[in-house]
């Protein structure tokens, strides 16, 4: 089974919600066919397995999506090696369609999660609120100083498995952080 035990994360501040529920999260990588859709699938799965005090799950209250910084793969499915890496770790199949993020979307997203520093820079250039922008690996206490999730696009299955495991560690911390702060996300 995929790892989804709560883990304390680095001290990354989870921004409060912009509006009503659900809490909106978007993961962003380059073409939206490898890293960001893997993070989307894992976060959604982990959140569905995270109970809240009211008897619902965290996943019942999240809108988790992914996007790319460029148009190269717009409309394409997830990279086959990314999908296979998820399936090998027993994550559910996901009917992904690649999408490029645009400036107009950013104002409606509670938390924008960049997969590397280049993506974060591009998102800032598109107008992302720096207080709502985080690097994924900042949620993984085991990442140390490593900030980026390397692009597996030209790699083999082992490279994609390593990428998946790196993303899973960070998603575990992200889901734990959101769950720990859930009651305060809609505070005025």
The DSSP 8-state label assigned to residue 182 in this structure reads: G
Q: Look up residue 141 and give its two tokens.
A: 């206490």
Q: Are 81 and 101 in contact (CB under 8 A)?
A: no
Which candidate in 60, 63, 129, 151 is catalytic?
A: 151
Burial class of residue 158 (count of CB atoms within 10 Å of its CB; 0-12, 13-18, 19+): exposed
Active site residue 116: no
Active site residue 131: no
Give, to the nearest 10 degrees, the angle between helix 80-88 and helix 157-181.
Answer: 70
Which candidate in 24, 29, 65, 171 is catalytic?
A: 29
Which candidate in 24, 34, 35, 65 is catalytic?
A: 35
| Spatial strand order in the sheet of 62-68 | 62-68, 23-29, 111-114, 133-135
Active site residue 29: yes
Tokens 């529920």 belong to residue: 21
Q: Count CB-CB contacts under 10 A for residue 21.
A: 13
* Residues tagged active-site: 29, 35, 151
């Amino acid at each position: 089974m995929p790892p989804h035990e709560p883990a304390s994360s680095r001290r990354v501040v989870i921004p409060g919600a912009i509006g009503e529920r659900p809490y909106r999260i978007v993961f962003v990588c380059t073409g939206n066919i490898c890293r960001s859709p893997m993070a989307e699938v894992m976060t959604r799965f982990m959140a569905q397995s995270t109970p809240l005090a009211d008897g619902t799950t965290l996943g019942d209250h999240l809108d988790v999506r992914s996007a790319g910084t460029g148009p190269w793969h717009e409309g394409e499915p997830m990279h086959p090696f990314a999908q296979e890496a998820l399936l090998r770790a027993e994550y559910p199949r996901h009917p992904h369609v690649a999408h490029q993020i645009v400036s107009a979307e950013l104002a409606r997203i509670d938390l924008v999660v960049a997969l590397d520093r280049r993506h974060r820079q591009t998102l800032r250039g598109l107008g992302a609120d720096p207080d709502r922008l985080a690097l994924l690996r900042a949620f993984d206490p085991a990442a140390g100083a490593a900030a980026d999730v390397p692009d597996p696009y030209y790699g083999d299955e082992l490279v994609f498995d390593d990428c998946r495991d790196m993303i899973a560690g960070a998603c575990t911390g992200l889901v734990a952080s959101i769950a720990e702060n859930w009651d305060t996300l809609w505070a005025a």
